[in-house]
C-alpha cells in the first residue's frame, strides 16, 4: 500500500524527522487561510501516488496568495499525468500547501528491502532531486548503499559510512545520525517496504529536512496497522483489480487496448503472447478460472468494460472442465443486460463446443475453433479501428 506524500510526512513527523510546515487542503475555499498562515510564499503540491510530479508541473512555487490560488485551481480536481501514469493521469483530490524553504543541497535517502541479502538496505546519494532516476542508471557509484542486519539494527559504522560519502564536515553529523536512526525505526516499526526521501535537503544550519516523502507499507503487515488502513487510498487503476479479486477472478490491468478473457492462467499468458506477437497490446490479463459458471463470464465482461481504453475484446476458451455452452450462455446473458458497443472476437473449442456455437449464432456471433485463425481475425478487426475512436 502506497501512502500519499502528506500521509508519509505525517508519519515522519511522528518519528521526529523534520518536515516543512504545511497543510492539506481538499477545496479552494480552505486555501486563503492556509497560505496566509505560511506568510504568502508557499509550495503547492499535488497529492498523487505516481512519481514524477515535479517534472509534470505538480509542484509549484508561489510567491503570493494569488499565485498559490492560480496553481491550486490549476491542479485540484483534475487528473495529473506523469511518466508513471501511462496516459491516463491520476486525479488530484488534495493539495499539500507548504512553506517555501531555501536549502544548500538536495540529497536522496531511502530504506528498502534487498531481496538478495535479505536485509534492509539504506541508500544515500549526494545528487538528489528530480533527476535521481537517471543517475541510478548512469552512475551507480554516486549512490552509497549500506545493508543493515535486522537483528542487530543500525550501528555507528553504518551511519559513518553514509555520512562520509557526503564529504561534509562534522557539524552535520549529529543531526544526520538522528535522522537515519529515526527513519530506520519508522521503516521497521511500521512494516514499510520502502521509505524514500527525495529530496532530503541540507539546510544552512547543517540540519536535514524531508522535502518530499514516498512510503510503501507491506500489504502483508497491514493487519497490524489499523491506523494506516484507514487512510488507504486505492488508486484508480487498482480499483478494477480489487473488484475482480472479490469476484474470484484473476485480473491484472495492462496498458494496451485488446481486452482478453481466457480460461486458465497458462492459456491467458499464451493468449497475451499471441496478441503481442501480432503487433497488438493486451489491455489486461484475465483468467475466468476452470469452473463452469455463466455468472463469471458476466462479471468478467463487466470488469473488462470498465476500462475506457478497450477497443476490442478477445475471448479464448479451451473447454475442458469449463464448458463452451456455459461460456456462451454467460455471454448471451451479459448481452441481454447491456449492448456491446465494441467488437468481439471469440475462439471456442472443447467440451460442448457445438452447443456453445449454436447459442452464439442465435445472438449473431461466430466463434473460431483455431486460435491462429481467431487471432488473425482479431488483428483485422483491431487494425480496422481508427486511432482515437
Nearest CA-CA partner of 165 in 127, 219, 206: 127
CA distance 374 to 262: 13
Strand ranges across the sheet with 95-99: 22-25, 95-99, 42-46, 59-62
Cβ-Cβ contacts under 8 Å for 302 (sequence gap 6 or more): 334
Is residue 22 close enough to count as binding ligand GDP by CB under 6 A?
A: no
CA distance 161 to 157: 6
Is residue 271 close enough to count as binding Mn ion by CB under 5 A?
A: no
CA distance 365 to 373: 15
Q: How far is the CB of 51 from Mn ion (least distance, A)?
A: 7
As separate numbers, helices (DSSP H) first and strands (DSSP E) second, the chain gives 13, 19
Residue 218 grid cell: 507491506
| The one among 198, 292, 322, 329 contacting Mn ion by CB under 5 A | 198
Query: CB under 5 to 8 A by kind: which of Mn ion, ligand GDP, none does 43 bind?
Result: ligand GDP
> What's the helix, strand, coil split of the chain in %, to 5?
40, 25, 35
Assess whether 365 carries a catalytic annotation.
Answer: no
Cβ-Cβ contacts under 8 Å for 240 (sequence gap 6 or more): 251, 253, 303, 306, 307
CA distance 68 to 38: 11
Is residue 18 close enough to count as binding ligand GDP by CB under 6 A?
A: no
Is residue 199 close enough to count as binding ligand GDP by CB under 6 A?
A: yes
CA distance 328 to 57: 48
Query: Residue number with the shortest CB distance to Mn ion?
Result: 212
Choices 7-15, 196-204, 300-308, 378-386 (CB under 5 A): range interacting with Mn ion: 196-204
Cite the beta strand spans of 302-387 per DSSP E.
Answer: 312-319, 344-350, 367-368
The nearer residue to Mn ion, 23 or 109, going by C-beta atoms, is 109
**Per-residue contact track with ligand GDP, 200 to 229, x per CB under 6 A?**
-----------xx-----------------
Q: How far is the CB of 9 from Mn ion (least distance, A)?
A: 12
Q: How far is CA 2 from the centre of its chain?
A: 8
The nearer residue to Mn ion, 198 or 271, going by C-beta atoms, is 198
Beta-carbon-side half-sphere exposure of residue 46 (alpha carbons within 13 Å): 28
DSSP 282: B
Query: Which residues, in sequence order, are bridge partners of residue 253?
Result: 284
Chain residues 59-78 in contact with ligand GDP, contact rule CB under 6 A: 59
Query: CB under 5 to 8 A by kind: which of ligand GDP, Mn ion, none does 129 bind?
Result: ligand GDP
Nearest CA-CA partner of 213 in 332, 327, 53: 53
266 contacts 240 by C-beta, under 8 angstroms: no
Is residue 130 close enough to count as binding ligand GDP by CB under 6 A?
A: yes
The nearer residue to Mn ion, 213 or 378, going by C-beta atoms, is 213
The nearer residue to ligand GDP, 107 or 348, going by C-beta atoms, is 107
77 contacts 92 by C-beta, under 8 angstroms: yes
Q: How far is the CB of 174 from ligand GDP (least distance, A)?
A: 24
Query: Residue number with the shortest CB distance to ligand GDP?
Result: 54
Assess whether 196 carries a catalytic annotation.
Answer: yes
Q: How far is the CB of 331 from ligand GDP (least distance, A)?
A: 44
Count of residues in the chain: 389
Query: CB under 5 to 8 A by kind: which of ligand GDP, Mn ion, none does 101 bind?
Result: ligand GDP
**Per-residue contact track with ligand GDP, 77 to 116, x per CB under 6 A?**
-----------------------xxx---x----------
**Per-residue contact track with Mn ion, 210 to 249, x per CB under 5 A?**
--x-------------------------------------
Query: Distance of CA 170 to CAs 157, 182, 334, Å?
Result: 15, 19, 70
Q: How far is the CB of 360 from ligand GDP (least distance, A)?
A: 49
Q: How many residues bind ligand GDP (CB under 6 A)?
A: 17
Q: How far is the CB of 41 from ligand GDP (least distance, A)?
A: 9
Query: Which residues, in sequence order, are bridge partners of residue 216?
Result: 2, 194
The nearer residue to ligand GDP, 74 or 161, going by C-beta atoms, is 74
Choices 44-52, 134-142, 219-227, 266-274 (CB under 6 A): range interacting with ligand GDP: 44-52
- The catalytic site residues sit at 108, 196
* Contacts to ligand GDP by CB under 6 A: 43, 45, 51-54, 59, 100-102, 106, 129-130, 198-199, 211-212
Amino acid at each position: 500500500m502506497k501512502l500519499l506524500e502528506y500521509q508519509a510526512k505525517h508519519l515522519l513527523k511522528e518519528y521526529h524527522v523534520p518536515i516543512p510546515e504545511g497543510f492539506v487542503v481538499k477545496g479552494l475555499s480552505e486555501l486563503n487561510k492556509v497560505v496566509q498562515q505560511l506568510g504568502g510564499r508557499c509550495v503547492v503540491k499535488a497529492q498523487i501516488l505516481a512519481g514524477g510530479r515535479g517534472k509534470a508541473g505538480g509542484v509549484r512555487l508561489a510567491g503570493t496568495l494569488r499565485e498559490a490560488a492560480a496553481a491550486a485551481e490549476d491542479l485540484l480536481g483534475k487528473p495529473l499525468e506523469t511518466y508513471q501514469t501511462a496516459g491516463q493521469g491520476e486525479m488530484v483530490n488534495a493539495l499539500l500547501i507548504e512553506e517555501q524553504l531555501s536549502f544548500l543541497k538536495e540529497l536522496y535517502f531511502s530504506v528498502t528491502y534487498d531481496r538478495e541479502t535479505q536485509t534492509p538496505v539504506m541508500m544515500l546519494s549526494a545528487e538528489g532531486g528530480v533527476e535521481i532516476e537517471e543517475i541510478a542508471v548512469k552512475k551507480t557509484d554516486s549512490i552509497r548503499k549500506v545493508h543493515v542486519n535486522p537483528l542487530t539494527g543500525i550501528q555507528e559504522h553504518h551511519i559513518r559510512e553514509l555520512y562520509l560519502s557526503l564529504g561534509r564536515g562534522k557539524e552535520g553529523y549529529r543531526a544526520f545520525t538522528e535522522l537515519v536512526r529515526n527513519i530506520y525505526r519508522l521503516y521497521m516499526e511500521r512494516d514499510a517496504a520502502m521509505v524514500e526521501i527525495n529530496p532530503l535537503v541540507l539546510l544552512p544550519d547543517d540540519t536535514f529536512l524531508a522535502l518530499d516523502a514516498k512510503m510503501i507499507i507491506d500489504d502483508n503487515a497491514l493487519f497490524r496497522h489499523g491506523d494506516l488502513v484507514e487512510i488507504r487510498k486505492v488508486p484508480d487503476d487498482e480499483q478494477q483489480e480489487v473488484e475482480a479479486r472479490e469476484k474470484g477472478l484473476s485480473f491484472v490491468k495492462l496498458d494496451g487496448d485488446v481486452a482478453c478473457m481466457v480460461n486458465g492462467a497458462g492459456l491467458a499468458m499464451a493468449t497475451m503472447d499471441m496478441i503481442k506477437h501480432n503487433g497488438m497490446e493486451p489491455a489486461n490479463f484475465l483468467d475466468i478460472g476452470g469452473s463452469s459458471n455463466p455468472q463469471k463470464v458476466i462479471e468478467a465482461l463487466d470488469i473488462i468494460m470498465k476500462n475506457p481504453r478497450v477497443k476490442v475484446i478477445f475471448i479464448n476458451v479451451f473447454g475442458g472442465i469449463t464448458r463452451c455452452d456455459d461460456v456462451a450462455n454467460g455471454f448471451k446473458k451479459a448481452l441481454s443486460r447491456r449492448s456491446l458497443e465494441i467488437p468481439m472476437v471469440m475462439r471456442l473449442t472443447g467440451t460442448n463446443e457445438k452447443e456453445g456455437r449454436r447459442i452464439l449464432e442465435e445472438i449473431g456471433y461466430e466463434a473460431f475453433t483455431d486460435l491462429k485463425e481467431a487471432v488473425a481475425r482479431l488483428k483485422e478487426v483491431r487494425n480496422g479501428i481508427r486511432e482515437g475512436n
